[in-house]
């Protein structure tokens, strides 16, 4: 057990979210003494306000959809409504169980947790409530917060963030979702399933704009079918709260009335007022700058997770935390390959991807050097059984490895794990083509796309 009063510990971590706690667990496992400073609850955004509670809502929403669609499958059922108190109790029970497990794990590894708001006071120390904790190394892992737009004030009642949305005690009648990224699309999906009238406003040309354009278009088709409205290439210009909700004005001159406005325009770094600037940590727009080993410009300080520029995903935070811990313990870990991090939007339909988009592949390898196959889920038995539609697109370098996999359809999030092995191990289509996928599963679509890329398509229509 680290005794900070007795001298410097090996590692002080500021922030106990996905990145911070993963670093703590791995460092302790490797025999380092660790102090973890957390002002709120261990587990951070992901466990309490992000991944886990949103996916619980999405699961409950899926059950609503199943009930509505049950007759298609020969099952007669009656939908009697959504009881948000019970939905929230279920969601909280999942979060609570995982929180208990995490707290136990941290304790079992002998990590000292200091509860309180920490502040960086030197290249090797963090102060919490008057106590200065010295470490040979410091990891900054203070995460991110829901951003807004200039002049757009969040009142947490009618103009809300994702945190507020997770705490709603009712199903709203109508919502405008500002931002068609992952978080906006997931909430749009949940609320539509629950029966709300939903309109997404996105400034860029497509929903989930970081995804391959083909995936965005399939998601848009899926949302359109479900009655989720969206306005693309449309910028927000203002919002007024009314007795009934909000009136949202858009730069195209139109207005939208709704009960709620969810602001889902991205997440900014939690770095202001925490001593980073005073200690001399290099930052840009509040994000802490790091090299590929996650070191800041100060050799004794690393930064991980949502706080540094780049992908904001829990599993990236885990990987970065583990990486820094292993470096500090004298191991020689491989840096994170950010292109090959799997990404999932858990809406209905789901969007999952790993590797580069077709546009990036063409830019990187040359348009003539890239080949791709799209396998429509219409040809996949299990997808037909589930009545889901979508596609699997696999991109490869000609006579070379697979460099991108992009999928849309229900449950494709579960398929991305195989896809990330393929891209990370730089498998060739022919390597994957000879591997047998179980029938009937959705994974066969991935196998079929590789068979086609390897020149031996099976169930693929031209």
Ligand X SMILES: Cc1cc2nc3c(=O)[nH]c(=O)nc-3n(C[C@H](O)[C@H](O)[C@H](O)COP(=O)(O)OP(=O)(O)OC[C@H]3O[C@@H](n4cnc5c(N)ncnc54)[C@H](O)[C@@H]3O)c2cc1C
C-alpha torsion 209→215→219→224, nearest 10: 90
Known binding positions for FAD:
55, 118, 142-144, 306
Per CB under 6 A, 306 contacts ligand X: yes
Going by C-alpha positions, the residue among 456, 440, 452, 431 that lies closest to residue 375 is 452
Site for ligand X contains 290 (CB under 6 A): no
- The encoded tokens of residue 418 equal 């195989």
Residue numbers 109-148 binding ligand X by CB under 6 A: 117-118, 141-144
Is 307 or 361 the residue whose CB approaches ligand X more closely?
A: 307
Residue 110, Ramachandran bin (φ over 0: left; ψ between -120 and 50: alpha; else beta): left
Break the chain down into helix, strand, coil percent, rounded to 5.
Answer: 35, 25, 40
In the bound state with ligand X, the residue whose beta carbon lies nearer, of 118 and 390, is 118
- Using the contact rule CB under 6 A, the part of the chain among 50-58, 221-229, 435-443, 445-453 near ligand X is 50-58
Residue 51 within binding range of ligand X, rule CB under 6 A: yes
Question: Is residue 45 near ligand X by the rule CB under 6 A?
Answer: yes
CB 31 → ligand X: shortest distance, Å?
A: 23
341 near ligand X, rule: CB under 6 A? no
Q: Which is nearer to ligand X, 14 or 452 (CB)?
A: 14
* Residue ranges of the binding site: 55, 118, 142-144, 179-186, 202, 266, 306
Distance CA(340)–CA(326), nearest Å, equals 20
What does the angle CA 302 – CA 306 – CA 308 come to, to the nearest 5 degrees? 45
Instruction: Name the residue nearer to ligand X (CB basis): 38 or 326.
Output: 38
271 interacts with ligand X by CB under 6 A: no
Residue 186 Cβ, how far from ligand X at the closest point, in Å? 7
50 binds ligand X (CB under 6 A): yes
Integer Cα distance of 155 and 338 in angstroms:
36
User: 2, 185, 274, 336: which one contacts ligand X (CB under 6 A)?
Assistant: 274
Catalytic residue from among 68, 156, 244, 439:
439
Interaction between residue 179 and ligand X (CB under 6 A)? no
Greatest alpha-carbon span in the chain: 71
Q: Which stretch binds ligand X (CB under 6 A): 101-109, 171-179, 314-322, 350-358?
A: 314-322
Nearest to ligand X of 87, 361 (CB atom)? 87
Mark out the alpha helices in 174-274 (DSSP H runs).
Answer: 182-193, 213-225
Under rule CB under 6 A, which residues in 194-253 are in contact with ligand X?
Answer: none
d(CA 279, CA 284): 15
Q: Does 348 bind ligand X (CB under 6 A)?
A: no
Q: How far, CA to CA in Å, does 305 sit from each of 54, 317, 388, 425, 460?
A: 19, 4, 34, 24, 41
As a whole number of angstroms, the distance between CA 53 and CA 345 comes to: 14
Question: Is 244 noted as a catalytic residue in this protein?
Answer: no
Please choose, from the candidates 89, 58, 68, the residue with its C-alpha nearest in 3D space to the C-alpha of residue 190: 58
Question: Does 32 participate in binding ligand X (rule CB under 6 A)?
Answer: no
**Which member of 10, 17, 57, 61 binds ligand X (CB under 6 A)?**
17
Smallest gap from Cβ 241 to ligand X, in A, equals: 23
| Residue with Cβ nearer ligand X (22 or 449) | 22
Q: Which of 18, 199, 383, 393 binds ligand X (CB under 6 A)?
A: 18
Cis peptide before 349 (omega within 30 of 0): yes
d(CA 402, CA 372): 9
Q: Find the binding residues for ligand X in span 411-450 (CB under 6 A).
A: none
Pairing outcome for strands 402-409 and 350-355: antiparallel
Residue 18 vs 216, nearer CB to ligand X: 18
- ω before 440 within 30° of 0 (cis)? yes
404 binds ligand X, rule: CB under 6 A:
no
Which residue positions form the known binding site for NAD(+)?
A: 179-186, 202, 266
Number of residues that bind ligand X (CB under 6 A): 36
> For ligand X, which is the closer residue by CB, 95 or 141?
141
Cβ atoms < 10 Å from Cβ of 79: 12
Residue of 11, 34, 46, 203 interacting with ligand X (CB under 6 A) = 46
The reply on whether position 183 binds ligand X by CB under 6 A is: yes
In the block, which residue shows the tokens 């997404």? 200
Helix (H) or strand (E) holding 97: helix 84-108
As measured in angstroms, the least distance from the Cβ of 16 to ligand X is 5
Tell me if 58 contacts ligand X by CB under 6 A: no
Inter-residue long-range contacts of 84-92, CB under 8 Å, 24+ positions, other chains counted = 84/168, 84/169, 84/170, 84/171, 85/169, 87/56, 87/57, 87/60, 88/167, 88/169, 90/56, 90/60, 91/53, 91/56, 91/57, 91/60, 91/166
Q: What string marks each residue from 364 to 403 as x (binds ligand X by CB under 6 A) or -? A: ----------------------------------------
CB 424 within 8 A of CB 401: no
Are 286 and 274 a contacting pair, CB within 8 Å?
Answer: no
> Can you give the binding site for ligand X, defined by CB under 6 A?
14-20, 37-40, 44-46, 49-51, 54, 117-118, 141-144, 162, 183, 270, 274, 305-307, 312-315, 317
- Catalytic (active-site) positions: 439
């Amino acid at each position: 057990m680290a005794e900070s009063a007795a001298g410097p510990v090996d590692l002080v971590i500021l922030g106990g979210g996905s990145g911070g706690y993963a670093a703590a667990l791995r460092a302790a496992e490797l025999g380092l003494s660790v102090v973890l400073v957390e002002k709120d609850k261990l587990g951070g955004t992901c466990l309490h306000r992000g991944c886990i509670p949103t996916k619980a809502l999405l699961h409950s929403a899926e059950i609503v959809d199943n009930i509505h669609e049950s007759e298609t499958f020969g099952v007669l059922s009656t939908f009697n409504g959504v009881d948000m108190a019970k939905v929230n109790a279920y969601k909280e029970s999942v979060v609570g169980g995982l929180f208990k497990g995490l707290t136990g794990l941290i304790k079992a590894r002998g990590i000292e947790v200091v509860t309180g708001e920490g502040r960086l006071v030197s290249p090797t120390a963090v102060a919490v409530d008057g106590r200065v904790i010295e470490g040979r190394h410091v990891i900054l892992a203070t995460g991110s917060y829901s951003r807004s737009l200039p002049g757009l004030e969040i009142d947490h009642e009618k103009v809300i963030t994702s945190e507020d949305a997770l705490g709603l005690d009712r199903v709203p009648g109508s919502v405008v979702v500002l931002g068609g990224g992952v978080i906006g699309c997931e909430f749009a999906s949940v609320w539509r399933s629950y029966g709300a009238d939903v309109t997404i406003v996105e400034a860029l040309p497509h929903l989930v704009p970081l995804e391959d354009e083909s995936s965005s278009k399939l998601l848009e088709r899926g949302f359109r079918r479900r009655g989720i409205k969206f306005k693309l290439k449309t910028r927000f210009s203002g919002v007024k709260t009314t007795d009934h909700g909000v009136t949202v004005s858009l730069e195209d001159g139109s207005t939208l009335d709704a009960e709620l406005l969810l602001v889902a325009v991205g997440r900014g770094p939690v770095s202001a007022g925490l001593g980073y600037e005073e200690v001399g940590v290099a930052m840009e727009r509040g994000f802490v700058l790091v090299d590929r080993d996650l070191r800041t410009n100060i050799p004794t300080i690393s930064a991980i997770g949502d706080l540094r520029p780049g992908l904001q995903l829990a599993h990236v935070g885990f990987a970065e935390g583990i990486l820094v811990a292993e470096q500090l313990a004298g191991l020689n870990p491989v840096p994170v390959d950010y292109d090959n991090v799997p990404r999932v939007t858990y809406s209905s339909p789901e969007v999952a991807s790993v590797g580069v988009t077709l546009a990036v592949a063409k830019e990187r390898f040359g348009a003539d050097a890239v080949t791709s196959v799209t396998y429509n889920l219409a040809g996949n038995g299990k997808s037909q059984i589930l009545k889901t539609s979508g596609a699997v697109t696999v991109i490869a370098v000609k006579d070379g490895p697979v460099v991108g996999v992009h999928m849309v359809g229900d449950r494709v999030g579960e398929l991305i794990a195989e896809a990330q092995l393929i891209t990370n191990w730089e498998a060739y289509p022919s390597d994957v083509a000879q591997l047998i996928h179980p029938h009937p599963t959705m994974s066969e679509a991935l196998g079929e796309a590789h068979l086609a890329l390897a020149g031996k398509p099976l169930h693929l229509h031209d």
